[in-house]
Structure 1
Amino acid sequence: MSGATDVGRFDVGELPRGRSIRRFTSATTNQRAGAGIGELLGDVYYAVIMAAIGIGIALGVTGTLREALPDADAGAGAGAPTVWSLPGLSLSALVVAVVVGLAGVVLSLAGRLGPVSAGGPEATWWLPLPVERRGLLRPAVARVPAGAALVSGVVVGVLDAGVLAAPGGRVLSTVLAAALGAAVLVLGAALGQTLDVSRRATSVAGDLVLAGAVVLAVASGVAGWRPDGLPAVSPLALVGLVVVAGALVVAVDRGLERIPSRSLRAGGAVASQAVGAVVSLDTRELGRVLTDASLPRRRRASRLRLVRGPSSALVVADALVVLRSPRRLVLLLATALVPALVGTAPELAGPVGFAIALVVGGFVATTTAAEGARRAEMAPVLDRLLPLGARDVRLLRMVVPAGAMAAWSLVAFGVVGLWYQDVPGWLALGVAAVPVWAGAAVRAAYRPAPDWSAPLIATPMGAIPTGVTSVLARGPDVLVLGLVPVLVSVFLGRVHPEVVVVQTVLSLVVVAVATTTTTLAERLGLSGGTPAATTGGAR
């Protein structure tokens, strides 16, 4: 064949609009889904009822805690001990700081999720089409702002009504303002996306706002700022928020054509992986996805001068994972300051407040420091390449969390020691408890996945297998048991030398449990599955 074949002229019909393509896709999906309107209404009804029950329980719990907390003036007048000679952090100022932190979380998540994005199928089939994108992407614009508004309104409403006991009218205006404010933040992030602002810049801005909430709480405790509650929102302010939100919607809608396809695909990939992690109850994957979305593409090179062998290589790798993420370092510092904030709040200072602050703040901190082990469970590259046994790998994975928690304990337990006027004793107890934190973090990192072949239980989020609670409890179980001496000392108000010895023994037990490569059911011969520790190193 020497010549090319000419294609004859033909008429090109009118291209469909993006809106019609989106509606056709939705209609085809609904037709093949096999679910009717009755099942849809049933699911919506079930979700609304469960959400209402959850909100009611949250209001009841916060109300009970508010009534159980001592009065600030009464506590000060009774000669209660104080950590520092400062005015202290009021409960209302703490709620204001939490609301500011919530705004930072909303903005940070908006940057990580897009907020305008196209999932895998949408990015594959829709984006290459020669049609306008405004009709295709309009539902994607509404998803994240609507979700942020709903969650923010509920959280702020529970705080205002349950913790601060605000009247009904004020709670309603506060909820509306919180919902509109969250929507404005997300829409602002979407407007930045249309102007080709990087998703990392938006997420970093949210992280800075979150860090500012911690600074606000500390400054409030130092200055003695005691607001009456959340700022009152006037009807005029609500109208202003509605106008701003409407203007942002129009601006974002006009700029949808300018959003690069790479940004839509990247945000859709993160959102799809995050949803999959939530549905599968995998907090490790959820944290990895949301964290990696804000990391720079070009990372610093390291000569790894501290590496002298397989053991040091594993430890250095874990340390670099933490040190190369400023967000984790800030989180470690923020969690260490939680007991200090509790100690300066007259309504919270006491055994219950310190116990909750130590357990919750410590678990968040040690989980943050054990990111290397959490990643290794999913991609055990070093675990397989290095000539180390599975137990040795898990033991080495505890080095970085132990070092981080040793520094964390100096701050957290030092504050508790100032409160109880026995700093050396509490520091000794904190150092003795360091292996408990590290062991719990590694045990949680290497926990097995839920057995999805087991019988299922219906929940508002879908069906989950039986026994999922025992899987999620791996890590927190040994943490609570290993910290029994610490909790007993907190409620007794003093540290006995015998308690430090018991804490040391329990720490060794936790380390031994955390380095095991099989579950209890597998050791008893009750499970026919593969051991959970196949990702824990060489056999």
Structure 2
Amino acid sequence: MLAADPSEELANVPVDFDPWARNRVAEKSVRREDFWDRMGDAYISLLTAALVFAYAAGLALAFFDQMRGDPESGVVRFGLGVVPGASAASALVMLGMLGALALVSKLGPTAVDRAQGFWWLGLPVKRTGFLSRLLRQRLVSTFFFGAFLWLPIGYGSVLGGVVEGSALGVWLGAATLGLLFVMLSLLAAWAQTREAGGNFRAVLNLAMLAVLLAYLLDVLLRSTGTGNLAAFWALLPATLPALAQAGAWWVPVVLALLCLGGFAALAGQLQRIPSRELIARGAASEHAGAALALMDDKALGSAYDGAGAREGKREEAKRERTRVRGADSFARMLPAHWVRGPYTALVRAELLVLLRTGATWRGLLAGWGVPAAGVFAVQGGHPLVLAMLVLVGAVLAARAASKAAVQAANVPSLEAIIPLGRSGVRQTHALVAALLLVRWGIGLAAFLSWAVGADPAGTTVLLGLGLLTGFGLAAGAVRMAFRPALDWGSVMLMAAMGKATGPLIQHFTYGYEVMVVSAIALVAGLLLDPVPLGLLGLGVVVAVIAWSVGTSNTNRSNAHRALQSQRSRPILRDGP
């Protein structure tokens, strides 16, 4: 046997051993034993998806059935709804796709959990096969998620008579949207291989801004009669699902070939993704997955906001400039010498958090932009459509104004530190949110009163309703921020007796019900002509009730009461 040269250095070259595939072989016997357990889980998942689809399709059918009426019979004054429904839908779907791409980019799509990262990534083995399998699993899940999103929309639009199509066309449209989501995920994975995740998300933000500006330009061109951007909206990839639903079977075929080719070209480059990127995206994905498993949308929002928070040279440079100057523009607007006690200190601290958070400004602008975009669309003047857009905008604005309260709710000891009491602290949170939402509500009411052509008296009433809506939304935002954790022990006990549905719905809508009820008076004022003065009295009553409910620290929910009683129960110690 020839002896190895001791002077020759051992090159730490990755080998072709695939530990993940080796584990799959070892787990086959275990998976055979758990076959019926997996079948039961699959049955429950399919049944849940079928129930969700049935409800979503029914709502979509009712929505599109209401829209079959004359577009000129809407509440928006003549001449404002100039953008056709197809162009508005293309812009909406495009924004949704870009938002989904931003979400996918923050959560991966190529990611590993902490155990995989610290065990497998430290070995001198090639990662290509390991990472390609993980990416393929995520791409398959993404495809089914995108396809499922289109099914209720497609069936509702066809059965409602809004567009022509068939059952096969709906499935083609669903496959097209699922494949588009896969292509978006491949783009995000390509950005990971170039270590350009932050720049990629910055480009996505610019793309969303470009779509919004194009919509505004289309409104101006159509209003002045100088042209339109119909060709631009028709060329966007957002129109492909509708095109496939109309019978263009070749669209999903071409997209499938592009996805297969893109995955084959990208699989060999996954080795270039740094380990820290894989572990960071895996941690964000685990956080989001746990939030979904616990059915907690507040935790899901925190997972999305926290994903990638450490990266970004722009943010680091901004913090360094603030440190050198001693304060930023917002701190100079709210100087520290104004603080006269714990109350003003909490107000100043929360206002600075809200003003410095970009998500706050984006949420408030989205709360304005959603109703405004509907006003300028042909079908946006329909009473049902306008009411839904106003409610969606109100929820978006309220969630944006709750960012500081959510952070405070994640630190329960804060209420004990501040000498204001639990009720006083929550009222302070609501007051800070109201400082933003009252202005938001007045601005939205002013725009909508102009859009519906209200007279001076009606405009005054609507402005008052906008002010009151801001207070109610602030209370709902605080209620949502301090939503108690779900007591799964009580839920399982109630499920055994067939009484878990009500408490679960109450948990999911905790805080949102106050937001929706707070905006009802404003919506009613937009739909009534003339606007009755009595709506102001109704708005005052609703705002007072919403404020008392949203800032209350008592809990009467069956799904939370047992957990609260356990926390308040004194601890019994053994011995004397």
Check 1:458–1:471 CA distance in 2 against 1; reply closer, same or farther (3 A cut). Answer: closer
Distance in 1, Cα, partners of 2:472 & 2:280: 38
Q: CA deviation at 1:516?
A: 1.9
Residue-by-residue CA offset, 1:124-155 (whole Å, 9 max, x unaligned): 22111221111221222123322322222332
Aligned partners of 1:430, 1:531: CA distance in 2, in Å? 39
Indicate whether 1:230 and 2:228 are aligned: no
Q: In the alignment, is the contact (CA less than 8 A) between 1:110 and 1:203 conserved in 2?
A: no
Supply the distance in 1 between the matched residues of 2:182 and 2:547 (Cα, whole angstroms): 46
Give how far 1:514 is off.
Answer: 2.2
Partner of 1:412: 444
Match of 1:5 in 2: none
Q: Which residue of the partner structure matches residue 8 of structure 1?
A: none
Please state if 1:202 is matched with 2:200. yes
Kindly indicate whether the alpha-carbon contact (under 8 Å) linking 2:83 and 2:377 is maintained by their aligned counterparts in 1.
yes
1:53 Cα offset (Å): 4.2
- Could you tell me the TM-score, scaled by structure 1's length? 0.83
> Residue 477 of structure 2 aligns with which residue?
441
Name the CA distance, whole Å, in 1 between partners of 2:20 and 2:502. Answer: 38
8 Å CA contact 2:438–2:470 kept in 1: the answer is yes
CA displacement, residues 491-517 of structure 1 (integer Å, 9 cap, x when unaligned): 433433332133223322322222222
Instruction: For 1:249, give the aligned amino acid.
Output: F
* 5+ residue gaps, structure 2: 1-9, 223-227, 570-576
- Alignment correspondent of 1:361: 393
Residues 29/311 of structure 1: CA separation in 2 closer, same or farther (3 Å cut):
farther
Is the alpha carbon distance of 1:438 and 1:263 closer, same or farther for their aligned partners in structure 2, counting shifts above 3 Å?
same
- Equivalent of residue 420 in structure 2, options 388, 410, 421: 388
Q: Distance in 1 between matches of 2:264 and 2:51?
A: 36
Deviates more, 1:345-354 or 1:435-444: 345-354
Shift of 1:187: 0.8
Residue aligning to 1:289? 303
CA distance in 1 between partners of 2:354 and 2:33 (Å):
46
Percent identity, aligned pairs only, is 22
Q: Which residue number corresponds to residue 247 of structure 1?
A: 261
Q: Which residue of 1 aligns with 2:87?
A: 93
Find out whether 1:323 has 2:355 as its counterpart.
Answer: yes
1:183-223: CA deviations, max 9, x gaps?
A: 1111121112112113x333333344444444454444444
Preserved contact between residue 116 and residue 190 of structure 1 (Cα < 8 Å): yes
User: 2:192 aligns to what?
Assistant: 193
- Tell me the CA shift for residue 490 of structure 1: 4.0
| Offset at residue 101 of structure 1 (A) | 1.6
Question: Shift of the alpha carbon at 1:350?
Answer: 3.9
Q: 8 Å contact 2:394–2:515 — kept in the other structure? A: no
Match of 1:272 among 286, 299, 307: 286
- What is the correspondence of 1:445-464 to structure 2 with a 5 Å cutoff? 445-456=481-492
Is the contact between residue 397 and residue 442 of structure 1 (CA under 8 Å) also seen in structure 2? yes
Could you tell me which residue of structure 2 aligns to residue 48 of structure 1? Answer: 46
**Which residue does 2:134 correspond to in 1?**
140
> Shift of residue 452 of structure 1?
1.8
Aligned 1:157-196 pairs, distance under 5 A: 157-163=151-157, 164-168=162-166, 170-196=169-195
Answer yes or no: is the 8 Å Cα contact 1:478–1:510 preserved in 2: yes
Aligned pairs for 1:455-494 within 5 A = 455-456=491-492, 467-494=503-530
**Structure 1 equivalent of residue 67 of structure 2:** 69
One-letter amino acid of the counterpart of residue 25, structure 1: N
Candidates 422, 427, 430, aligned match of 1:398: 430
TM-score (norm 2): 0.79
**Hey, what does 1:332 align to over in structure 2?**
364
Structure 1: distance between partners of 2:156 and 2:358: 34
Q: Cα distance 1:31–1:311, how it changes in 2: closer, same or farther (>3 A)?
A: farther
Q: Deviations over 1:445-488 (max 9, x none)?
A: 111101122142899xxxx8983332233212333444453344
Report how many residues are paired: 510
- Paired with 2:512 and 2:503, the residues of 1 have a C-alpha distance of 16
- The answer to whether the aligner puts 1:103 opposite 2:97 as a matched pair is yes
Q: Which moved more, 1:217-226 or 1:50-59?
A: 217-226
Q: 2:413, 2:194 → 1: CA distance?
A: 39
* Pairwise CA distance, 1:364: 1.8
Conservation of the 8 A alpha-carbon contact between 2:449 and 2:526: no
Match status 1:375 vs 2:369: no
Moved more, 290-299 or 446-455: 290-299
Q: CA-to-partner distance for each residue in 1:147-192, whole Å, 9 max, x for gaps?
A: 3222223323443442343313554443333222221111121112
Change (3 A) 1:295 1:219: farther
SS in 1 for 2:106: helix
Deviating more after overlay: 370-379 vs 214-223: 214-223
Q: CA deviation at 1:319?
A: 2.9
Matched, 1:507 2:546: no
Structure 1's 319 and 18: CA in aligned 2 closer, same or farther, altered over 3 A?
A: farther
3-state DSSP of counterpart to 1:520: coil
Deviations 1:324-346 (A, max 9, x none): 33343123212212222333334
**Take 1:525 and 1:173, find their aligned partners in 2: how far apart are those partners?**
47
Alignment partner, residue 519 of structure 1: 555
Task: Write the distance in 2 (CA, Å) between the matches of 1:239 and 1:487.
Answer: 45
Distance 1:62 1:336 in 2: 24
Whole-Å separation in 1 of the counterparts to 2:464 and 2:391: 17
Shift of 1:275: 0.4
Of 454, 462, 481, which aligns to 1:426?
A: 462
Letter of the 1:529 counterpart? Q
More displaced stretch, 431-440 vs 163-172:
163-172
Q: How far off is 1:22 after superposition?
A: 0.9
**Are residues 1:258 and 2:272 paired?**
yes
Distance 2:48 2:395 in 1: 28
Measured in 1, the distance between the counterparts of 2:290 and 2:306 equals: 16
Measured in 1, the distance between the counterparts of 2:429 and 2:381 equals 35
Contact 1:16-1:131 within 8 A present in 2 as well: yes
| 1:248 to 1:334, Cα distance in 2 relative to 1, 3 A | same
- Show the counterpart of 2:566: 529
Contact 1:83-1:344 at 8 Å conserved across structures: no
**Offset of residue 254 of structure 1:** 1.1
RMSD of aligned Cα (Å): 3.4
Paired amino acid for 1:510: A
**Contact 1:82/1:343 (8 A) holds in 2:** yes
After superposition, what is the alpha-carbon deviation per residue over 1:505-537, rounded to whole angstroms, capped at 9, x for unaligned?
Answer: 332232222222221369x998623369xxxxx
Deviation of 1:313 after TM superposition, in Å, equals 3.3
- 2:108 corresponds to which of 106, 114, 129: 114
Greater helix share, structure number: 2
Alpha-carbon spacing, 1:525–1:455, altered in 2? closer, same or farther (3 Å)? closer
